[in-house]
Amino acid sequence: MSSRPGRTGPAVLATGCVVLGLVGSLVGLSVLGAAGRQQDVEPVGLVVTGLTTERIPPEYVRWIKRAGDLCPEVSAPLVAAQIEAESGWDPTAVSHAQAEGLSQFIPSTWATWGVDAAGKDGSPEPDGVADPFTPGDAIMTQARYDCWLADTVREMDIGGDLTRLMLAAYNAGPGAVEQARGVPPIPETGNYVTRIIASMSRYTGGEPAETGGAFGDRVVANAKKWLGTPYSWGGGGPEGPGRGFAQGANTVGFDCSSLVQNAVYHASGGGLLLPRVSQLQVTAGKAVSRDDLRPGDVIGFQLNGSYDHIGIYIGQGQFIHSPKTGDVVKISNLNEPYYAGKPQTARRFG
Q: Are strands 298-302 and 344-348 parallel, antiparallel or unpaired?
A: antiparallel
Ramachandran angles phi, psi of 194, nearest 5°: -60, -45
Report the candidate in 96, 97, 63, 108 with the shortest Cα–Cα distance to residue 82: 63
- Catalytic-residue membership of 266: no
User: Residues 17, 96, 147, 256: which is the catalytic one?
Assistant: 256
* Angstrom distances, CA of residue 104 to CA of 79, 125, 200, 252: 13, 22, 18, 36
Report the candidate in 267, 257, 202, 268 with the shortest Cα–Cα distance to residue 235: 257
In our burial notation (b when 16+ CB lie closer than 10 A, e otherwise), range 123-135 reads eeeebeebbbebb
Just list the catalytic residues: 256, 309, 321
